Structure 1
Amino acid sequence: MNNLVEKCTYSPEDNKLRIYVVDSDERFDDEVRGKLKDLGFIWAPLQKLYLAHWSPKREDFCAELGGQIVAEETTMLERAEAKSERLAILAEKRASESNAYSRAAQSMREKLASGQPVLAGHHSQRRVEKQMNAVERSQEQAVNLLKTANYWLSRAEGVEAHAIKKNDVRTRMSRIDTLFKELRDYQSQINHGYSVVRLWTEISEDKSEKREKLATYWAGSYMSNSRRTKKAAPSNLYFSLSNGEISVDDAIQKAITWGHALINNPDVYRWINHTLNRLAYEISAFGRVARYSGSLSDVVIKAFARKHGAESPICVRNNDGSYTLKSSVPLPLHISDGLELTLTDEQWRDLFVDVGYEVPQAKSKLPSIINANVKSVRVKLHGNVKELDVLSLTNKEFKAIYDDFRGVRPTACGNYRVRVCLDPKSNEVYYSRNWVVVFLNDSKSHPVPESDSFIVVSEE
């Protein structure tokens, strides 16, 4: 533990580590300063601390430097208020300096105005010109300082607005979605390791003549999974094998060892654990996740598994009503330690709550598109309700219209939708043409709905 470190903290609000330094004239030695720089820590002089986003190496360094990492005592909003106050003081100082320059310029201008007119060629002309230049410089300096003051004021307002936005519901939901994406990326690295080991194990057990060709092929190829395409072997293995530097057996062993290294990478597991903790923190802000009360199905369970990083999950319903979730590689550890998991209906619902998963609500269906042969239709168009005439066209004629000049719009009642387009039979330029409702005469005709949006005969 370094005697210059007061404490090391972590804040889940902004996912940052902070190293608080004691108030002393001493400084860190070159080795510590070099590590701080290499790890990306930034010095905040007014707060007397170093800070950086969390990573395994940074966490280890903080633990080494401060002994232990404790929870950050100040919230993001409190830090934002403190920074806003500092910026406001700075803005006030610049405004005061601006006023001083402005007063000086005004005072010199009044002295020049009350004096004797300057005569061209007189020995005092040079002195007066210098005074006028000084007035202009003072005025420019006052304007520049006022701009600087306004800049710091806007920064002060922005700091608090940023902190408030960070706690906004929509921002937090977006942050949760981002964390789930990161979780899937980390889990994908482990899944890829299992795929690599399985592939090269199959090649090693192949005793046919294709064994060498398979090894050479996969040594320089890529494997695709549900998320992305990745290397099937470590770098340069293909060249070493092709040039005869290593044997096929050695290449297979190297590839399997590399696959196990991907599976057992401690940093990846730390990232996964950290991401799960961050997810728990963010989700807890919304309170306890509601227990799913809807109809459980294999589709719901597979969607849950994919969101948490399972590799190409398969779910089947058993005869006793339970569901079995399977994957070609072991499931994520926070779900199950194995290739499959069988739970009853209620146990799956409990698992959703335990891991903070909320089943997305089904999107509401759009109103039906009505193809009715009427005189006109009241349509919501460009923010207003307009009564549009109906034009009879074929499917081919309608699809031949440029995409920007045709579409589907809701009726005035909102219960139905109709096809609309700019009148293709008008001789006017497109921006002057009227919108019309389209009746496709070569498609199925629907009965006229009971709605005042559809006008069969003209209203008198």
Structure 2
Amino acid sequence: MTPTTAQIMTENTVSQTYRATYSPDDNKLRLYASLRLDEETYSLINKAGFRWAPKQELFVAPAWTPGREDVLLSLAGDIEDEDSTLFDRQEQRAGRFSDYSDRRAVESEQALAHVDSLASAVPLGQPILVGHHSERRARRHAQKIENGMKRAVMLFERAEYWEQRAQASLRHAKYKERPDVRYRRIKKSRRNYASPKSTLPGLKSI
């Protein structure tokens, strides 16, 4: 007997588990799910402002709000402290960017080596002989050299870009760790907590 869609959804709901966390470092709420979300749950958290972070494999909201807290409590039951700090996450991000930079740098060197091998096949100062039977082949060869050089430069620029992103990520993490910045975040969070508690449709206010 083939299970119905309703039965499948029920089974997934039973086996689905959630873990919710809050990080005072960046004032963000995160939701970890053991399985792919059903349509109703996805719609609920999407409306609350949670977005999927593919690298971390979780849903994250840009800032704490009473409504978002209510959503996580309705799914996970409680909200834990986030295990990793902002600096840890930014270090991981910087590490990924550095990997991207290293790969592009290697590819740039390979492209440049290929250009050198093509150029070495042409005698130094050898012009293209217009009208000669070798003209077409010589122009194709010259075009390959030009395209290869463009690719090498493009890859080098990408390597520089990702290296800059890695450095910026670490600078951002260090900035967020500054006592004055942390103090301003705490003050903002306290103001949010002091405001009237909002709820989303379908959730009971506390």
TM-score (norm 1): 0.37
Matches of 2:110 and 2:92, distance apart in 1: 27
User: What is aligned with 1:19?
Assistant: 31
Q: Which runs of 5+ in 1 are unaligned?
A: 187-264, 269-460
Q: Please point out which of 29, 40, 55 is paired with 1:46.
A: 55
Matches of 1:38 and 1:28, distance apart in 2: 14
1:33-112 to 2 correspondences below 5 Å: 33-52=42-61, 53-112=63-122
Question: RCO higher in 1 or 2 (8 Å CA, sep ≥ 6)?
Answer: 2
Matches of 2:75 and 2:51, distance apart in 1: 16
Matches of 2:197 and 2:20, distance apart in 1: 23
User: What is aligned with 1:251?
Assistant: none
Structure 1 residues 38 and 65: CA distance shift in structure 2, 3 A: same
Q: Does the CA contact (< 8 Å) of 1:5 and 1:19 recur in 2?
A: no
Question: Is it true that 1:267 corresponds to 2:193 in the alignment?
Answer: no
Structure 1 residues 21 and 106: CA distance shift in structure 2, 3 A: farther
When the two chains are superposed, the root-mean-square deviation of aligned CA atoms in Å is 2.7
Deviation of 1:184 after TM superposition, in Å, equals: 11
Q: Does the CA contact (< 8 Å) of 1:95 and 1:149 recur in 2?
A: yes
Question: Is it true that 1:28 corresponds to 2:40 in the alignment?
Answer: no
Bigger radius of gyration: 1
The one-letter code of the counterpart of 2:173 is A
The one-letter code of the counterpart of 1:123 is H
Q: Deviations over 1:217-247 (max 9, x none)?
A: xxxxxxxxxxxxxxxxxxxxxxxxxxxxxxx
Q: Please point out which of 2, 21, 28 is paired with 1:9.
A: 21
Q: Deviations over 1:48-98 (max 9, x none)?
A: 111012122222222233333211111111111111111111111111111
Matches of 1:154 and 1:3, distance apart in 2: 43
Structure 1 residues 94 and 5: CA distance shift in structure 2, 3 A: farther
Structure 1 residues 184 and 115: CA distance shift in structure 2, 3 A: closer
SS at structure 2 position matched to 1:63: helix
1:402-417 to 2 correspondences below 5 Å: none
SS at structure 1 position matched to 2:98: helix
Structure 1 residues 4 and 147: CA distance shift in structure 2, 3 A: farther
Structure 1 residues 61 and 177: CA distance shift in structure 2, 3 A: closer
The one-letter code of the counterpart of 1:124 is S
Kindly tell me the number of residue pairs found equivalent between the two proteins: 186
Q: Does the CA contact (< 8 Å) of 2:119 and 2:145 recur in 1?
A: yes
Matches of 1:74 and 1:169, distance apart in 2: 19
Query: Which protein has the bigger strand share?
Result: 1
Question: Is it true that 1:154 corresponds to 2:164 in the alignment?
Answer: yes
Deviation of 1:173 after TM superposition, in Å, equals: 4.1
Q: Does the CA contact (< 8 Å) of 2:94 and 2:170 recur in 1?
A: yes
The one-letter code of the counterpart of 1:125 is E
Deviation of 1:102 after TM superposition, in Å, equals: 1.1
Question: Is it true that 1:140 corresponds to 2:71 in the alignment?
Answer: no
Deviation of 1:141 after TM superposition, in Å, equals: 1.2
Structure 1 residues 37 and 131: CA distance shift in structure 2, 3 A: farther
Query: Which protein has the bigger helix share?
Result: 2
Matches of 1:100 and 1:129, distance apart in 2: 23
Matches of 1:267 and 1:41, distance apart in 2: 16
Deviation of 1:170 after TM superposition, in Å, equals: 3.0
Deviation of 1:124 after TM superposition, in Å, equals: 1.9
Moved beyond 6 Å, runs of 4+: none
Matches of 1:2 and 1:65, distance apart in 2: 12
Q: Deviations over 1:319-370 (max 9, x none)?
A: xxxxxxxxxxxxxxxxxxxxxxxxxxxxxxxxxxxxxxxxxxxxxxxxxxxx
SS at structure 1 position matched to 2:198: helix
Matches of 1:106 and 1:36, distance apart in 2: 55
Matches of 1:152 and 1:126, distance apart in 2: 39
Q: Deviations over 1:132-173 (max 9, x none)?
A: 111111111111111111111111111111111112133234
Matches of 2:171 and 2:14, distance apart in 1: 37
User: What is aligned with 2:203?
Assistant: none
Q: Does the CA contact (< 8 Å) of 1:2 and 1:66 recur in 2?
A: no
Q: Please point out which of 172, 175, 180 is paired with 1:170.
A: 180
Structure 1 residues 154 and 116: CA distance shift in structure 2, 3 A: closer
The one-letter code of the counterpart of 2:198 is D
The one-letter code of the counterpart of 1:64 is S
Deviation of 1:99 after TM superposition, in Å, equals: 1.1
The one-letter code of the counterpart of 1:159 is S
SS at structure 1 position matched to 2:123: helix
